[in-house]
Structures are given as C-alpha cells and as structure tokens.
Amino acid sequence: MSLAVEAVSLTKQFGQITALHGITFSIKPGEIFGLIGPNGAGKTTTIRMVCTIIKPTSGSIRIFGYDSDRQAEKARQILTYLPEESGAYPNLTGWEYLNFMAKLQAQPGTDIKAVVAEAAEICGLGDRLKDKAKTYSKGMKRRLLVARALMTRPKLAVLDEPASGLDVMHAYHIRETVKRYAREHGVTILLSSHNMLEVEYLCDRVALINKGQLVMEGTPKELKTKYNSENLEEVFAKVVGYA
Ligand code: ATP
C-alpha cells in the first residue's frame, strides 16, 4: 500500500528567505501525524505544499501515490485542508455553509444530505446550526470548520492548528472528534500545533521542524525516552535549545 504522504528533500525559497532546507518525512495511512516547532519554523509552509497550494522549490511530495505537482488535481480530490486562519461565510447559517461546502467538496454521486448530517453530528452544534455563522463564538466557528474538513471522509485531512486559541470545552471537543474520526474512518490526519499536550494525546507520530529543518521524528513515547523527558514540552525545549 502506498504511503499517505511521502515528502522528500523539500526546500522552499521565498525570495531571500529559505523557509525549508530540505525536509523528508512520511505518513502512513490512518496515522495522526503532528508537526511541531517554534513560530516561523516552516510548519505552515510544509502543510501548504502537501495541500498543493504552493509548490516546493525543490524536492517532491506524493499523496497516496499522486505527485503533488504533476497530479495535483488527483491529490486535491482526496484531501481536505483547514488553514490556520479560516472563517465560515458570516451570512450563511451553519447548515447553509455545510451544505454549500459539501456540494463543492464531495465527489459526484455523493449523498449530500448524508454528508451534511454527518457534519452536523461531528460539530455537535445542534440548533445553533440554524443561526448565521457571524453569531458564532470562535470555538463554534472552529468546530464548524473542522466538521467541514472531515465530513466527506477524505483520505487525508490537513489541519493547521485545529484547536488553537479555543477554550477547554471547544478544544476538547475538537481533539476527541479528530481522534475518533481518524480511528473509526481510517482518515489520515496531518496537523500542526503549539500545544504539546494536544500533540501527545492525539498523535501517533510527531516531527519537529526548527529553522526549516526536520530535527527529530518519532512516536511521543520514543521521543520522551530518547530525550529522557517526562512530556513532549520538555523534549521540545531540549531539542530547540530552551532547556
Ligand atoms: P507559526 O508557528 O508562527 O505559524 P510556521 O512554523 O508555520 O510558523 P511558516 O509560516 O511556514 O512557519 O514560515 C516559515 C518561514 O517562511 C518564516 O520565516 C516566514 O516568514 C516565511 N514565509 C512564509 N510564507 C511566506 C511568504 N508567502 N512570503 C515570504 N516569506 C514567507
């Protein structure tokens, strides 16, 4: 079976800025894979390349065997992307938004009603789905958007900081949803996060990017053992040089 993501020697140059210096990693089907690293390390750049939004300067990415450059259309059909800064259309109700996005995202022949019903269950917003998105709190909006990213059961869902800045209740809901969804439906998840508790709880494997380089990779347990640390935060601090 092909890997879910196979990124080889990725570099990215933005003018004078080298955002990535040649990173290589792979994600197995069904895995929850976490990208961690300090601000500006290159996580979003990596994620945007996996989602075929930007092209690497050099190197290659395969998504379930599809080349992200030559077969970008094919890759886009099997992945969904939740950007870090993302919003729902403010004047659409939650239902209208999910219905609109389901029609855009779903493959021809898909039962749209069933997809929207699934999204409603995932987000758990109940009656509030009848209200316009502009009346939602930040946490409610994010739950709607996470549901949008998962509702079509993509082969790969890419979530850039899915629960960042949310209160405990909303963040908890999102984490539980992502974990359950990946397990029950075999959806492969690539996510980035600054919350080490979240990463340790959710991720099967983790890669740390620092200054555009991939400096460590492994299961949370392997990394804690290797760096003789009690938790991932301590590992992070040791590897990045804060500790
Ligand atoms: P954060 O945790 O703060 O979101 P990040 O790890 O996601 O950071 P990136 O957003 O990937 O980091 O940025 C990596 C580097 O590339 C930074 O130096 C950033 O300024 C630069 N960069 C990213 N996008 C662009 C762009 N479109 N043009 C110029 N420089 C960019």
Most ligand 1 atoms within 8 A of CB, residue of 10, 21, 36, 45 to mutate: 45
Average pLDDT over residues 97-115: 93
State the architecture of 5-84+153-240 in CATH terms: 3-Layer(aba) Sandwich (3.40)
Q: Are 34 and 147 in contact (CB under 8 A)?
A: no
Mean pLDDT across the chain, nearest whole number? Answer: 94
Beta bridge partners of 67: 62
Q: Which atom of ligand 1 is nearest to the CA of 45?
A: 11
Domain ranges of the chain: 5-84+153-240
Which residues are paired to 63 by β-bridges? 5, 66
Q: What is the pLDDT of residue 2?
A: 85
Compute the C-alpha angle 111/108/156, nearest 5°. Answer: 85
Degrees, nearest 5: CA angle 95-98-101 = 145
CA distance 10 to 6: 10
Q: Find the length of the chain.
A: 243
Q: Which pTM was predicted?
A: 0.95
Q: What is the mean pLDDT of residues 144-150?
A: 95
DSSP helix/strand/coil, 113 = helix
How many helices and strands, by DSSP H and E, does the chain display? 9, 10
Nearest Cα residue to 51 out of 63, 36, 35, 37: 63
- Residue type present at position 100: F
- 41 ligand 1 Cβ < 6 A: yes
The 10s digit of each residue's pLDDT in 189-200 is 999 999 999 999
